Every structure is written in C-alpha cells, then in structure tokens.
Amino acid sequence: MRAHRKKIIAESLELTYEEAKSFWPIYEQYFKELNLIFKRRGDTTYDFSQEFEDLTDAQSVKLINEVLQSDEDLEMLVDSYIPKVHDVLSGKKTARFLQIERRLHILFEADIGQKLPLVE
C-alpha cells in the first residue's frame, strides 16, 4: 500500500528535487502514523466480521464508537500534517496533496465497505 500511495502522490504533485527532499521525510512520518489508524480500523473490521452473526447491541455500539474514533483520529492527523506540508510546498501543491489524500481515504473506506455486510 505504501509504494502505491507514494507513487500516486509523486505523480500527482510533480515535486522538484528540493521539494521532494523536504517533503518525503514528512510524508514517511505521516504514513507511519496513518498506518496505525488504518491497522486499528482493519482490526475493528476483522473483529466485526468475526462477530457479525451474533452481534449484540453492546458490540454494535462499540463498533460505532471505534469507527467514529478512527475517523476523528484520521482528521486530526491530516490537520496536524497540513501545516508541515505547507512549510515545504506551495499552497497549491499542499491543496493537491490534501485532495489526493482524501481520495485515497475514500477508496480505503469503499474497500472496507464492500467487504462488510450491513448489520441486521
């Protein structure tokens, strides 16, 4: 996933050598933190899929809370990195980075959504 995301971002941002030298270390740290959120979401998805047949109301509420918390953590992470990215890229490239990240997050969510059945 890392290589694919990085390729998409590199192709979309068209960074100069100097921009790339400053941007990629920031992105690597961002991705490490992002990956922790994605792992937690994946674990939640797996737990849900294992308990789906016998899901209780309490488990449903726990699932809701975990999903909402990961959404909030994701937004906070992106919010905390946008100023760092803007320190090394122009406003337009920072905006493009944000757009790309949001689209990648949507694709991630769509992939999870396709795999999960609706709660009965």
Q: How far apart are CA 80 and CA 30, in angstroms?
A: 9
The answer to whether position 120 is within a domain reads no
pLDDT of 1 reads 64
The answer to whether position 79 is within a domain reads yes
On whether the CB atoms of residues 60 and 119 are closer than 8 A, the answer is yes
pLDDT of 47 reads 75
Residue whose token pair is 């795999």: 115
pLDDT of 2 reads 65
Helices (H), the chain: 2-13, 17-51, 57-88, 91-115
Q: How many domains does the chain have?
A: 1
Tokens of 50: 């294992």
How far CA 11 is from CA of 22, 49, 75, in Å, comes to 16, 36, 24
The answer to whether position 59 is within a domain reads yes
The answer to whether position 25 is within a domain reads yes
Q: pLDDT tens, position by position, for the chain (120 residues)? A: 667 888 999 999 999 999 999 999 999 999 999 999 989 888 887 777 777 778 888 888 888 898 899 999 999 999 999 999 999 999 999 999 999 999 998 888 888 777 777 777
Residue 70 domain boundaries: 2-115
Angle subtended by helix axes 57-88 and 17-51, to nearest 10:
180
